[in-house]
């Protein structure tokens, strides 16, 4: 079986590709190695994947329709896990066009090729950010997510609607997975855990927004990967109970599903920092700042839907942070 994984040099794409390869599957990975953050980390991830004989790397831009079509023609993947996107919630406020091109045009190119080449299941990354202005906790897929508060979330919600249209018109199984604050080894340098660890070790201040009054549903990367592959192995089916008079936004009369993937155990940001300090044996220098534009105070995932497929998060926050810091120290010394 051949899996096409887009964004294979990215944080989540790398881990998904690695797990699939370790399980004996063939993986065709696409990545354009953009410079949103230090490409050294992306090449380091790729060097790990290239050790597997079942891995094929395609350095291509998903915004190039011809390149995408050629990859499908050449490799005939049965499953697509689409993780390539322009990441970064706050960066979408200052550079929205990057998100328009990568998250909408790029998404369409992969989605349409998956349809034309009749893949068995199209799984794609969404985000907990789509819940936006919604404050009803925990965040559940059955609640509407139509009030995004930054453009990144708007593009991801658009992806879900685009996928539904293809499921409806072409009877194409599509499943969106909404990630909740992913962290762990090989994580992005622009993410909180990486920045906090770097700054604390270098005796530099860390910026803590909303004066530390945040709660986040931190989800370890291994649990995220398990959720993605669990969903991938259950191609979306129509919901026979779907009621057009009381429509469930997470399913349809078409083969379309949306799932949260989280830990469902929110952690206070100050507690998160304390755990990092304890593992490092160093105290942080903290600069408290107001809430950032486009941010939300609290996230909590309702994972009851994906749990019915067998998903169960297993990594607690203390273990996850220890694992990241162990990797980080090894990585920066290489």
pLDDT by residue (tens digit) across 104-133?
999 999 999 999 999 999 999 999 999 999
Average pLDDT of span 32-49: 96
> Tell me, what's the pLDDT at 90?
76
Residue 268 has pLDDT above 90, yes or no: yes
pLDDT by residue (tens digit) across 205-217?
999 999 999 999 9
Map residue 68 onto helix, strand or coil: helix
Instruction: Specify the CATH class of 2-183+219-265+299-314 in words.
Output: alpha beta
Catalytic residue among 25, 124, 131, 152: 152
CB 268, CB 299: distance < 8 Å: no
DSSP H or E stretch at residue 319: helix 317-332
DSSP H or E stretch at residue 230: helix 221-232
Using alpha carbons only, give the angle 305, 311, 313 rounded to the nearest 5 degrees.
Answer: 115
**Is residue 131 among the annotated active site residues?**
no
pLDDT by residue (tens digit) across 43-75?
999 999 999 999 999 999 999 999 999 999 999
> Tell me, what's the pLDDT at 78?
97
> Tell me, what's the pLDDT at 87?
84
> Tell me, what's the pLDDT at 95?
87
In 3D, which of 258, 272, 251, 257 has the Cα closest to residue 325?
272
> Which residues 6+ apart lie within 8 Å of 286 measured at CB?
205, 206, 208, 212, 273
Please, which pLDDT band fits residue 292 given cuts at 50, 70 and 90? confident
Q: What is the mean pLDDT of the chain?
A: 96
Please, which pLDDT band fits residue 92 given cuts at 50, 70 and 90? confident
Please, which pLDDT band fits residue 222 given cuts at 50, 70 and 90? very high
In 3D, which of 245, 318, 224 has the Cα closest to residue 279?
318
Residue 5 has pLDDT above 80, yes or no: yes
């Amino acid at each position: 079986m051949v899996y096409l994984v887009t964004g294979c040099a990215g944080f989540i794409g790398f881990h998904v590709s690695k797990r699939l390869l370790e399980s004996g599957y063939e993986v065709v990975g696409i990545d354009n190695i953009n410079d949103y953050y230090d490409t050294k980390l992306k090449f380091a991830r790729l060097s790990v994947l290239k050790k597997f004989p079942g891995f094929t790397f395609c350095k291509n831009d998903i915004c190039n329709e011809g390149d995408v079509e050629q990859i499908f023609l050449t490799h005939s993947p049965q499953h697509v896990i689409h993780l390539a996107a322009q990441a970064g919630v706050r960066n979408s406020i200052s550079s929205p066009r990057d998100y328009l091109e990568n998250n909408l045009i790029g998404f369409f190119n992969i989605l349409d090729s998956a349809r034309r080449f009749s893949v068995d299941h199209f799984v794609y990354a969404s985000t907990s950010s789509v819940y936006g202005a919604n404050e009803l906790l925990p965040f559940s897929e059955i609640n509407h997510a139509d009030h995004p508060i930054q453009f990144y979330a708007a593009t991801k919600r658009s992806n879900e609607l685009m996928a539904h249209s293809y499921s409806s018109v072409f009877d194409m199984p599509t499943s969106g997975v909404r990630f909740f604050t992913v962290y762990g080894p090989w994580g992005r340098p622009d993410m909180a855990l990486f920045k906090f660890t770097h700054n604390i070790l270098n005796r530099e201040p860390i910026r803590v927004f909303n004066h530390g009054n945040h709660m986040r549903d931190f989800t370890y990367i291994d649990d995220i990967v398990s959720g993605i592959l669990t969903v991938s192995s259950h191609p979306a089916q129509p919901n026979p109970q779907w009621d057009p008079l009381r429509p469930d936004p997470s399913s349809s009369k078409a083969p379309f599903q949306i799932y949260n993937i989280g830990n469902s155990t929110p952690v206070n940001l100050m507690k998160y920092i304390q755990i990092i300090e304890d593992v490092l044996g160093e105290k942080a220098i903290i600069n408290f700042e107001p809430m950032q534009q486009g941010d939300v105070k609290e996230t909590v995932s309702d994972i009851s839907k994906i749990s019915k497929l067998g998903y169960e998060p297993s990594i607690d926050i203390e273990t996850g942070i220890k694992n990241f810091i162990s990797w980080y120290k090894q990585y920066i010394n290489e």
